[in-house]
Amino acid sequence: MGRGPREHDDLRSLAAHHRFLRDAADDEASPGAEAARRLYDSLYKEFAIANLKHYRTRGIALRWRTEAEVLEGIGQYTCANQRCVWHRADDPPRLATLEVPFRYEERVRGTLTAREALVKVVLCDACAAKLHASRPFRTSRPSGRPLQEAPSGSRW
């Protein structure tokens, strides 16, 4: 069943007033800002959930965990990457807790503002390597000849 006009207005209002990190200066008197504040207050901000789908182009998305995810231990006792096979696993491999600088842009009062925060994420070794990948791997030269295989563990 589709969403009605009210749901679309509520979602647009939340999107307009959403902040990854909020401070007192972000508070406004509008109902949309109040709803965004209530949503922000209901999230658990110790560990983040990551989406590393676009890691090759450095496009990494982070969000805070919900109460249900905290109760299940997702993102703290499992890999925080949403697309990892160990994201909802009962017996994940060795996990590493990383504190990463997260740079992002938010629209604040109509102006695009660059912000930065240190965020903790728990990742398996494979996803941690994705997070630390500095650029995409090339598998062939522009001429079409294959490159030599990179040594294991090499970032280049």
Task: Print the domain residue range for 80.
Answer: 43-134
Q: Is the pTM of this model over 0.75?
A: no
Exposed e or buried b for every residue in 93-113, given b needs 16+ CB within 10 A? eebeebebebeeeeeeeeeee
* Judgement on whether residues 117 and 68 belong to the same structural domain of the protein: yes
pLDDT digits (tens, 9 = 90+) for 84-110: 988 887 888 899 999 988 887 877 777
* Judgement on whether residues 116 and 62 belong to the same structural domain of the protein: yes
- Give the pLDDT confidence score for residue 57 in this predicted structure: 87
How many domains is the chain partitioned into structurally? 2
Q: Where are the alpha helices (DSSP H) in 25-124?
A: 31-42, 67-72
* Judgement on whether residues 25 and 56 belong to the same structural domain of the protein: no
Residue ranges of E strands in the chain = 44-54, 59-65, 95-108, 111-124
* Judgement on whether residues 123 and 63 belong to the same structural domain of the protein: yes
Query: What average pLDDT does the segment 29-48 reach?
Result: 71
